[in-house]
Structure 1
Amino acid sequence: MRVAGLGFRRDVTFASLREALIAAGGAEGVTAIATVSDKLGSDALERLAGELNVPIKAIPANVLVGIATSTQSELIKEKFGTGSVAEAAALVAAGRHARLVSTRAVSQDRTATAAIAEGDGE
């Protein structure tokens, strides 16, 4: 299973989410997108999932706590207990033995991040 993890601000645009995903390596082979559950309902997120024809996996914030990530944001670490929401969400959603195939990439306007992980989906 190949999962694109996304982190973003509430005012993110569809273009920024797509740009971050492209910067992380693109959507080829992605079978799901994942983000922290409080971001569900975002129009930009739903539009991206629709364009890719993949489900959204909502990860509760408490599940992200302590997930080791390759990149580190002090702000995100303080708020979520992990260095990158995008990387941690991708790793959790990809399942056991997940590994990052693309570390966090950031949109030019800095409102969206994306990372890609592969795992067994369980």
Structure 2
Amino acid sequence: MTAQFLAVGVGCRSGVAAEVIVDLVEAALARTARADLAVALFTVVDKSSEPGIAEAAGRLGLTLVHLPRVALETVADRVATRSQKVIELFGVPSIAEGSALAGAGAAGRLLFPRIADRGATVAVAISGEDGGTP
């Protein structure tokens, strides 16, 4: 049995600075009040060339996982926020929330809707009791 963990989903406009993402991730994690849990960052593979996300993961000391778009499609009915622009660009309603939910595994759940600032979005999901794979 694997311990629970927090899956932080990240989305952003092209070229968003790492410090913007770091600030949002730190704010979101503070809001969870779950400093006892391991944390990993998740985003869609389409964002793999986005330097701000990779740099933010490095600054935060967190593992960054790039998920296939199909993983976000499988949790699309569970997101709290739907962006028409994201649907048009990626075919899913939310990069941040979808990445968090997909990263948290089948029994994962969002802790709160995404937060957004300066072109970046972050959402946090907690894995199910059996953990899953961070």
TM-score of Structure 1 vs Structure 2, range by shorter chain? 0.7 to 0.9
TM-score of the pair, normalised by structure 2: 0.78
Asked if the contact 1:24/1:102 (under 8 Å) is kept, the reply is no
- Give the counterpart of 2:54 among 23, 39, 46: 46
Larger Rg: 2
Quick one: distance in 2 between partners of 1:71 and 1:22? 21
2:16 is aligned with 1:12: yes
Show the counterpart of 2:105: 95
Q: Distance in 1 between matches of 2:38 and 2:47?
A: 19
- TM-score (norm: length of structure 1): 0.85
Moved more, 97-106 or 65-74: 65-74
Question: Does structure 2 conserve the Cα–Cα contact (< 8 Å) formed by 1:65 and 1:80?
Answer: no
The 3 A distance-change label for structure 1 pair 61 and 74 is: same
The number of equivalent residue pairs is: 120
Give the Cα–Cα distance (whole angstroms) in 2 for the partners of residues 34 and 8 of structure 1.
Answer: 12
Taking a change above 3 Å as real, the CA distance of residues 43 and 81 of structure 1, as seen in their structure-2 partners, is closer
Identical columns (%): 30
Moved more, 48-57 or 16-25: 16-25
Determine the structure 1 residue equivalent to 2:6: 2
| Residues 64 and 80 in structure 1, CA contact (< 8 A), matched pair in contact too | no
Structure 1 residue runs of 5 or longer lacking an equivalent are: none
Q: Distance in 1 between matches of 2:113 and 2:28?
A: 7
Higher helix share goes to which structure? 2
